[in-house]
Amino acid sequence: MTPDHRRARLAGFALGTCAAACWGLAPVATKGALAGFSPELIGVTRLGAAALIFRMLAGRETGWVPRDGWSLLAGVALGIDFLCFNYGLRLTTAAVAGLLVNFGQVANVTLAWLVLGEPLTARRLIGSALTVLGVVIVNLKDVELDGAGSMTGNLLIMLASVAWSTYAVAQRRSARTGRGNVFQLMAPIFVIAALVSALALIVPDAWHNPGGRMPAVMLALLIAVCTIAPYFLYSRGQELLDVVVITIVLSSTPVFAVALSWLVLGEAIGWHVLVGGAVILAGIVVVALERR
């Protein structure tokens, strides 16, 4: 391995780790923003700002609406994902949410088999089984929350993860002919997602936003650091690392989510969260180590 190659790999690891940290911060920043803003407004603001940025980066040739049905489906699924995630996070902790979003791996494996024709390999089945086991353990949490409310929140987070997996698979199936960069693909999808999330603004409580300095800071972090920045970091990291390696690096996202929930929000991290998180992480790594 040449020095240039080693430096490129090191840069790829750094970029991938930063992307994982940004996505791990998302539950924490969302929880903080929810103290001053409604779930509906947070979703619209986050998706709308990202759509505008991606549209500017995509170039003038890019349209505002998707060219094909798969991109349209991806946008609808992404909008549902953000709404379910925000609603769920009001009822559970950021640490638990940061772990339960990985339930999407099970949906991802299933949808990749049904829609993309990818095989159900032994690693994928074992990884999915470990993920489900970890999710069950996390739901046995000993965090001091109202039982019924927190369970509803957890179910909404898992539903959000299924919606995100639908977005991911649909985006992979979408037409890419004539697109020079990834932002030309993502911009129309995010526009549709923002419009879908905007439908929830008809709820009267969506306009109850007391605001506050810290919620405003968290909302700004959510838009810049947790939505826009990770895509820059991830796309660049993909250019420097093999897809398997970058996937393994990104598997550290739930670790960042739990750690930041404890450091920033002071959430109690019970043994169920730690054990369940470790099992979920094992399931992610099992699938990530599969030969592509």
Global pTM value? 0.83
Q: Give Dmax over CA atoms of the chain in angstroms.
A: 61
Instruction: Indicate the helix (H) or strand (E) that contains 119.
Output: none
226-255 as b/e: b if 16+ CB within 10 A: bbbbbbbbbebbbebbeeebbbbbbbbbbb
Torsion of CA 242, 248, 254, 257, to 10 degrees: -50
Q: Mean pLDDT per segment of 10 residues, for the chain of length 292 residues?
A: 69 81 91 93 92 83 77 92 93 86 80 79 83 80 52 89 86 64 81 93 89 91 88 70 63 84 84 82 75 55
Q: Enumerate residues 6+ apart whose C-beta is below 8 A from 12.
A: 237, 239, 240, 241, 245, 246
**Domain residue extents for the chain:** 3-288
Q: Say what angle helices 69-89 and 3-33 make with each other, to 10 degrees.
A: 60
CA distance 34 to 42: 8
Task: Find the distance separating the first CA and the last CA of the chain, reported in whole Å.
Answer: 22
